[in-house]
Amino acid sequence: MNRFELDSQKAELTKPTHEAVVSIAEYENLDIAIGVVDARERSESGDPVGRTIIWPQSYMARMDEFETQRLQTIAEALKARVIGVEMPGVGISEKADAKLSLLQKIDLARGNFDHCAVAMLGALNEIVKFEDSEEVEFALYSQGAVLGAHMVENLGKNAFGINVKVPKVTVIEDVNDGHFNYRLTSIDAEDTDPQTKVKSGVTDRYLKENDKYPWLVPPADRVEGGKDRIEALNKKQSTVLNLGAVGLMFASFPDVLKRAIISDKQTGTTKVSESEIQILKMSDSVVSALNGETLLDKLNGNNERTVRRLKAAMPLGTIALNAITAPEGQEGHHHPAVHSMPNMQILADKFMK
């Protein structure tokens, strides 16, 4: 296991010069928002030169201004095109919660996010036209890990005729190292001190790091009128949110990615079996914990075992597990660390280049 000291005080963000363009794509009666920030440089002929990175949104994350500024931060740091895509049924659109079939609801509840991944690819295909054999990387956070793994698996089947290569996958705080992650029954545990059970304001800690930069905005529910808007969306989209929350406890990110790798070794469609995979874990995370000795830790999956399983499946690729620590005198890092845009700039520069 590698260790990397993340000190957001060392970041120096500059105001982004590339806007996020958000579009709504309709796929199978679902409105799915796609956010695109294209910070690629141009060749003399005017063609874009640079990488493309897909960021599947995590649980309850909608393609609003707070979320798109993370895409901007990554894109500007890497001079890349970064594309965010919402989970079907949960989004900024009032029609995002169009009815899922009974089979799709059952799949969600048992941890199968495959139909979500297919819909996300379908929506992407409506907005972004990939070139044949284009390289597309993935940056996956939290729930986005299992969604992204399913997307890679479906790309290996030439879903929608999109023939792309996947040279790199960066996984930040996946919550599904193994089945039955019961820590997710209380996702707000990250804001609670495990000893005193008192709210410790971990999320606020990361949001305050954005205050140094006047162009950054707070989450949608922390702006005027935003709380009512978000509560209305949560109520309207509650079925998918609840089923997705249950499914997250039973999903297994390594199982899905391993299937995609094994399939690719036979077909060579995406080349993910020869890719670079970086797994990042925050040192003090609760829902996406590093290896531990307790029975609960073992039931929730073992990070090192995940790495061994994936390494065995992809001898031509590389995989690394990284513990993200804090400098001496600072509190260790938690699951919401990605809400700090200074943190995201540093992580992108270190692990996504």
**Exposure letters 9-39 (e unless 16+ CB within 10 A, then b):** eebebeebebebebebbebeebbbbbbbbbb
Domain assignments of the chain as residue spans, ordered by start: 2-11+19-352
Place of tokens 């990070």: 303
Q: What are phi and psi of 65, to 5 degrees?
A: -65, -35
Specify whether the CB–CB gap between 54 and 150 falls below 8 A: no
**Residues in contact with 96: Cβ distance below 8 Å, sequence separation at least 6, in sequence order:** 30, 31, 32, 33, 86, 88, 89, 90, 237
**Tokens at 323, concatenated:** 């513990």
Phi first, then psi, for residue 37 (nearest 5°) are: -120, 115
Beta bridge partners of 225: none
Contact 349, 299 (CB under 8 A): no
Written out in words, the top-level CATH class of the domain with range 2-11+19-352 is alpha beta
Name the pairing type of β-strands 318-325 and 276-282.
Answer: parallel
Neighbours of 130 (CB within 10 A): 17
Predicted local confidence at residue 196, as pLDDT: 64
pLDDT at 221: 92
How far apart, in whole angstroms, are the C-alpha atoms of residue 252 and residue 147?
10
Please name the amino acid found at residue 322: N
Of 257, 47, 68, 234, residue with least CA distance to 151: 257
Q: What is the block-wise mean pLDDT of the chain (353 residues), using blocks of 10 residues?
A: 94 95 93 97 93 94 97 98 96 88 90 94 92 94 95 91 93 83 63 63 92 96 93 94 89 93 95 97 84 54 78 94 93 93 98 95
Start-end of H helices in 156-301: 202-208, 226-236, 238-250, 253-267, 295-299
- How high is the pLDDT of residue 220? 94
pLDDT at 185: 57
Q: Are 133 and 92 in contact (CB under 8 A)?
A: no
